[in-house]
Structure formats: C-alpha cells, structure tokens
Copies of this chain bind each other. A is one copy, B any other.
C-alpha cells in the first residue's frame, strides 16, 4: 500500500507526448529532449493511490501527463488540508531534496512521466534552461499558495466558494483555449468531492454544500450534477469572491 505498482510502457516517446510543449520539458529543444526520453518511464495510477508521503524520502520526480493529483498535509489528529492541486503538465516531487514536504495522492486516474531524482538532476545541471523553467514553475506555485493563504485567512465561507468556482473556471479556460466565441455554455466539470473542496477551502462538507446551495438558489450558478457547475452570473460571483477583475496572468500556457 505504500509503494504503487509500476506499469512500464517504454514505447511512447516524447514526440507523441500530449504535454511535451506545456510542461517544463518544453525548455529543451528537439536536440536535447533525448536526454530526458532516455531516462523516463511512464506509469499509470488509479484514483486514491498515494504517490508521495510527507516527511518521507522518495526518488521520484515526475510530470503529470493526465489526471489530477492533490498535495496534502495531515495533522497528528487526522485533519487534512489540501495545499495544492496538480494537473496535466504540472510536475511533482521536490526538485532540490529527496524529502517530500507533502503527501501526493491521485484524485482521478493519473498518467505520470517518471524520472529518478538523481538522473533528472543530472539533466538539470547540464541544461540551465530547464532549471530556469523549473524556477518559473515554482515561483508560479508559490504565488498560488500565497493566494490560497489569503483565501484561507481572510475570506468567509460564501466568499471562499465563489473564489473556488472562479478558480475552476480560470483553470478550465487555460486548459482548453479552443472555443473562441463569447464562451456561451460556461459549464465547469471538476473531479473533487465535497470533502476535497472542504479540505482545500478550510471548511466542512456541510458548509460547502450549504454555500453551493445558496449560490444556486440565488441564481448565480446552476448544478447539473454534484460535480458540474454552470455559471449564470459571473460578475456577481466575482463581486462575492472579493477578487480583482482578473489576474491578467501571463503564466505557463
């Protein structure tokens, strides 16, 4: 139960990789990408599997090819806080130490592109552009963590829910920038249970549920099913969320 069963598929090369140009490996050109493809292995995990344990040592460094992973911290008495959510093109694992600062657990089924820390570290040292890209991603993660600090520390339940929904919306949008029209059907799907939303926002499942219901009865959102929300009044939502218009984000993507 502690170490997931590896599932190797050595045939798939970087050229066919769906996140080749969205993940940190984009920093390497066609001539250097071989350094990574030579040492990578693919692995498929199922929802609920634990990838990393907080405080424990691991040789894994990986890029997420598909699926969602949650980073959590667990208190001695069992309470769990979600401190990060990772999805396709994000990377996983501590790049500067073998000790993991958080637990990492699959929210959905997940496909990983895995490296041994030592081998990845060697490529990193040989390719400063790659390390620079890793720095950019870490700075971006830090920015997000600090934004969540503000949400957790200063916002009320209603405001937290609104922020969460708007955050989902933004993530959705940056993930699939296909439809160029005036975004007609603003339907968001998310794979998180109420318990996980609660774990992220620092509240209980009951409070999450109550506040979703409130937003629905106010006509601001509509619930298609428990994990699909349709936005009906975005400006109102932004107002409730105490968010500045839009974080004109020029980050990865």
Q: A145-B146, A152-B149, A202-B154 are in contact. Are A76 and B138 (CB under 8 A)?
A: no
Q: A125-B128, A154-B75 are in contact. Are A96 and B146 (CB under 8 A)?
A: no
List the B side residues contacting A132 at CB < 8 Å: 131
Of A77-85, A175-183, A210-218, the one contacting chain B is: A77-85
Whether the Cβ atoms of A150 and B73 lie closer than 8 Å is yes
Interface string of A78-94 (1 = CB under 8 A from B): 01110110000000001
Give Cα A11 to B143, complex, Å.
36
Whether the Cβ atoms of A142 and B148 lie closer than 8 Å is no
Whether the Cβ atoms of B84 and A146 lie closer than 8 Å is yes
Residue in B closest to A79 when the chains form the complex, CB atoms: B154
**Counting chain B CB atoms within 10 Å of each CB, which of A128, A149, A244 scores highest?**
A149
Interface string of A128-158 (1 = CB under 8 A from B): 1001101110110111011111101111000
List the B side residues contacting A202 at CB < 8 Å: 152-154
Q: A132-B131, A202-B154 are in contact. Are A149 and B145 (CB under 8 A)?
A: yes
List the B side residues contacting A237 at CB < 8 Å: none
List the B side residues contacting A150 at CB < 8 Å: 73, 75, 81, 83
Residue in B closest to A83 when the chains form the complex, CB atoms: B146
Q: Is A71 an interface residue (CB 8 A)?
A: yes
**Counting chain B CB atoms within 10 Å of each CB, which of A71, A75, A77, A155 scores highest?**
A75
Whether the Cβ atoms of B152 and A242 lie closer than 8 Å is no
Interface string of A24-64 (1 = CB under 8 A from B): 00000000000000000000000000000001000000000
List the B side residues contacting A135 at CB < 8 Å: 95-96, 131, 134-135, 138
Whether the Cβ atoms of B146 and A76 lie closer than 8 Å is no
- In-complex Cβ contact of A242 among B75, B138, B148, B154 (8 A): B75
List the B side residues contacting A201 at CB < 8 Å: 153
